Amino acid sequence: MEDINPMELLRSNLSRVRIPEPTNRIYKQECCLSFDSPRSEGGLFVDMNTFLAFGKDHVAWNYEKTGNPVYLHIKQTKKLVSEDRPLKKPTLLAIGIDGGFDNNEPEYEETHNIVILPSHVTLPFPSVELPEKVRLAVDAILMAEGAERKEQVAAWTADKKQISAYAMELLQIGNVVVPPSGWKCCKCDKTENLWLNLTDGMILCGRRNWDGTGGNNHAVEHYKETGYPLAVKLGTITSDLEAADVFSYPEDDSVIDPLLAQHLAYFGIDFSSLQKTEMTTAERELDQNTNFDWNRIQESGQDVEPIFGPGYTGLVNLGNSCYMAATMQVVFSTQSFCRRYYMSQSLKMAFETAPADPTVDLNMQLTKLAHGLLSGKYSLPASKKDGTATPPVKDAKQEGIPPRMFKAVIAASHPEFSTMRQQDALEFFLHFLDQVERSNAAKPELDPSRSFRFGVEERILCSSGKVAYNKRLDNILSLNIPLHEATNKQELEAFNKIKAEKMSEGKDVSNDEIVRPRVPLEACLANFVAPEEIPDFYSSALKTKTTALKTAGLTSFPDYLVLHMRKFVMEAGWVPKKLDVYIDVPDIIDISHMRSKGLQPGEELLPEAALESEAESSQPIADEAIVAQLASMGFNQLHCQKAAINTSNAGVEEAMNWLLSHMDDPDIDAPISHGAKGAEASIDQAAVDTLVSFGFQEEIARMALKASGGDIEKATDWIFNNPNASAASAMDTNTSSNSTPTQVDAGLPDGGGRYRLFGIVSHIGTSTQCGHYVAHILKDGRWVIFNDDKVAASINPPKDMGYLYFFERI
């Protein structure tokens, strides 16, 4: 190769060089397959045909796969800075921008070369001798904003709303007083997605979505008739008025109404009083406790020793992404995920099977994340920012890896996770498992998300002595916290006395005086399996309504058991409240007693007609007040109605608990059936024919459409998620017995009921949508704290303050 002139070689490959168009995504900050960047030892190679970037160890794989030979090599080297450079005084409350705080970021020098593979022939850039096409292409790549940065900026600015031009002079008429719940559209029966017009106080439903869901367009039609410009979405109004969803019809956008408090007060919705009373009691206490939680959960103030090496890699916070970081650290501490995406799959294997753009492939990005976290390659003490020697280990920190590409892929299908706002770690975990299951649909035996899945069976005992069994699958066990089971009742009583006295004197309780209830985890588990009365249960045996007893148990025990503590409840008057409680969680639990036994000898099943005639004879009606209150928390209207019906309209808390534990039911989106015949009749034959044309059997197509409310896309998903479904099993799920396991829990992992605690995700803050998440994980026999990019030995893990607890079977 020596005698080939590098310039000739470049000219002969010019057809493989493209000048990027403005619409092309250009990657130049991070390798697609690893966390190598221009600052890494080998720099970064940008493919001048696809504009994808690769680290030194991976660029040859791209050449083998695509044959693209020409690359722009970008290398950044730290500039040495004198120790005593003067620090400028900040004039702005910001970090790392002009006039803001100096974040001591080192400066880097950037060098560029053109590299031709496979022999790594190198030509310097810039150089007048390079062909014009190459010069134009490189300039365009260097000038362009990188795709990684573009996505981040888009996510931040998507949340920025403008002040409405109509807010300041808004006309308000009429004398309507709006109640705090129980709303309904003035023109139809819709009780969710309701908007209050801020001019005349009319409550009307929102727009209809393309798929037929949503409202009936009454709010927007009212604007067209009257020209009244602004409406606020009911249920988004909390004491944090900035978070309220105000829409401007003439501006056709979500906007800020700076006078929202007075516009609402006109209709009798008074926030000043709500804010005051709330702040004086519960909020202020939580505020104090948040400071305490913050220190305890993050182990601040303790001299924790940083840890480095394989499995101890931090994750950089991308802006409110700690919910994702805490969850993924625990997920990649499980054998099932390590095996699937690290031990059994190399980066090269994942890249070879990935589509042309590996940045949008979940399998590739999970493999990249797994290798980033588990290899130890990026878990090194960062050298000091000014380029001087590496500090001693005690003070050393690591930089961590930024999970940007993974977040972009996992959030692509989800409107909330793709923003830069804080999210609920539980919702993210369930969404993540769902995406992993889908991406492994072709080879379900490889699916690591199965290690979390288990079956739940509910047994209903009718007063006739006959029984019915219902089964479902779940990935988490969501537990109520029975505060009346607290083990420190006397201390609590004494504390409440002191608190009342102090409040009557207008004083606050100090931090070290506050006593929180302590509830044993055993009491929360016992509460899950305890019998529960169902009033107004329609008995097909007695042909009338009666009171039945419902009990629940697990049909299988997963490899990893995740317990979700229901700390967030809704109080009257729009106020979400976080239960201020400690849970005493032992290191080892035994849930053997929670296994459901199925149909027992001598038990008689309720007649088949049970479920049909129950619906036909007395179709239950959801209590609108309960539905409205749940919908105001952001839950889907149909789900809220089902929750109210399934808890016999017992109350908001009961309905919310039902909702949280049934979110993943395969039929959660199916319409509320008015008897089986009605459901059969309402299935559109054209939809059945479409599914049959995909190669599915007709009766399976009918079952799937029935379970999915007639939605073809959801029905297709249902068929893939229930591969063992057959027409005969359509009824099995309702009346299963232990002797013949039905398809609901067939093939799930199972074993003994003894589990060891190995992971805790804790939450600090007043609601799941704000605050901070931290993970504590038991690794190599010691507890480790993972707080974004900080990884250190834990001195006192907050075992009694968890939001999600992860157990592994012993």
Catalytic residues: 322, 772
| β 582-584/518-520 pair status | parallel
Distance of CA 6 to the CA centre of its chain: 51
Instruction: Give, rounded to a whole angstrom, the gap between the first and last alpha carbons of the chain.
Output: 60
Q: Roughly what angle, to the nearest 10 degrees, separates helices 404-411 and 362-374?
A: 150
Which residue from 39, 37, 71, 70 is spatially nearest to 55, judged by alpha carbons?
A: 37
Q: Amino acid identity, residue 114?
A: I
Which residue from 473, 470, 468, 590 is spatially nearest to 521, judged by alpha carbons?
A: 590
Residue 205, marked binder: yes
Q: Which 8-state DSSP code applies to residue 299?
A: T
Contact 592, 256 (CB under 8 A): no
Distance CA 83, CA 240 (A): 46
Q: Amino acid identity, residue 314?
A: G
- Burial class of residue 360, CB neighbours in 10 A (0-12, 13-18, 19+): middle
Residue with token string 């039945």? 548
Q: What does R_g of the chain's alpha carbons equal in angstroms?
A: 30
DSSP 411-448: HTT-TTTTSSS---HHHHHHHHHHHHHHHTTT-GGG-G
Q: What are phi and psi of 113, to 5 degrees?
A: -140, 155
Residue 112, marked binder: no
Distance CA 791, CA 156 (A): 27
Residues forming beta bridges with residue 562, ordered by sequence position: 806
Q: Residue by residue, what is the 3-state secondary structure of 449-463?
A: HHHHCEEEEEEEECC
Residue 662, marked binder: no
Distance CA 356, CA 607 (A): 56
DSSP 623-681: -HHHHHHHHHTT--HHHHHHHHHHTTT--HHHHHHHHHHHTT-TTTTS---SSHHHHHH
Which residue from 725, 670, 794, 651 is spatially nearest to 304, judged by alpha carbons?
A: 794
Burial 501-521 (b: 16+ CB within 10 A, else e): eeeeeeeebeeeeebbbbbbb
Residues forming beta bridges with residue 115, ordered by sequence position: 71, 122
Which residues, other chains included, contact 101 with Cβ-Cβ below 8 Å and sequence gap of 6+? 90, 94, 95
Residue 32, marked binder: no
Distance CA 58, CA 221 (A): 57
Residue 681 token pair: 């009749």
Q: Amino acid identity, residue 747?
A: G
H/E segment holding residue 603: none
Q: Residue by residue, what is the 3-state secondary structure of 79-142?
A: CCCCCCCCCCCCCCCCECCCCCECCCCCCEEEEEEEEECCCCEEEEECCCCCCHHHHHHHHHHH
Say if residue 118 is preceded by a cis peptide, omega within 30 of 0.
yes
Residue 671 token pair: 């319409």
H/E segment holding residue 338: helix 335-338
Q: Amino acid identity, residue 104?
A: N
Residue with token string 């993970």? 775
| β 253-256/162-163 pair status | parallel
* Residue numbers belonging to the annotated binding site: 185, 188, 205, 218
* Residue numbers belonging to the annotated binding site for Zn(2+): 185, 188, 205, 218
